[in-house]
């Protein structure tokens, strides 16, 4: 079984994932931390408005959808797992769907944690 599609997909996934990761990680300079290293949500409003993180998540979701569509088209055409195109789309679909899901869940967790910590004092009055 040729593995050309898997190898090319791994290289492409590594490049795109690195670009996305660096774009999101560069937002850390806007995060205010306390002396213990925890995020101070009262001074950090980064998680409460649209950022590059959200844009990258949407782009990744669109790319995942395009890969799934490509996979579906080639499967309907009659190709099988030995085709490098099927291998590429299968690997890309899995990687970017998982990555998008994890980024989305991570973003939601930060927003909920920020809401809890930022406004807990106001609700406890």
As a whole number, the mean pLDDT across the chain is: 86
Q: Give the count of alpha carbons within 13 A of 4, CB side only.
A: 6
Q: Say if 87 falls within a structural domain.
A: yes
41 CB-contact burial (10 Å; exposed 0-12 / middle 13-18 / buried 19+): buried
**DSSP β-bridge partners for residue 100:** none
Q: What residues contact 51, with CB distance under 8 A and at least 6 apart?
A: 27
The residue range of the domain holding 35 is: 3-117
Q: Say if 74 falls within a structural domain.
A: yes
Q: Say if 48 falls within a structural domain.
A: yes
Number of domains in the chain: 1
Q: Say if 123 falls within a structural domain.
A: no
Q: Say if 125 falls within a structural domain.
A: no
Q: Say if 106 falls within a structural domain.
A: yes
Q: Say if 95 falls within a structural domain.
A: yes
Q: Say if 41 falls within a structural domain.
A: yes
55-112 tens-digit pLDDT: 999 999 999 999 999 999 999 999 988 899 999 999 999 999 999 999 899 889 988 8
| CA distances (Å), origin 92, targets 15, 98, 119 | 12, 10, 40
């Amino acid at each position: 079984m040729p593995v050309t599609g898997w190898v090319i997909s791994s290289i492409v996934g590594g490049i795109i994932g690195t670009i996305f990761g660096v774009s999101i990680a560069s937002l850390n300079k806007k995060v205010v931390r306390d002396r213990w290293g925890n995020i101070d949500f009262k001074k950090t409003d980064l998680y409460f408005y649209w950022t590059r993180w959200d844009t990258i998540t949407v782009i990744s979701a669109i790319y995942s959808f395009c890969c799934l569509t490509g996979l579906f088209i080639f499967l309907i055409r009659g190709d099988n797992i030995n085709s490098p195109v099927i291998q590429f789309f299968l690997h890309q679909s899995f990687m970017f769907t998982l990555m998008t899901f994890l980024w989305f869940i991570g973003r939601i967790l930060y927003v909920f944690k920020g809401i809890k910590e930022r406004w807990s004092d106001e609700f406890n009055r």
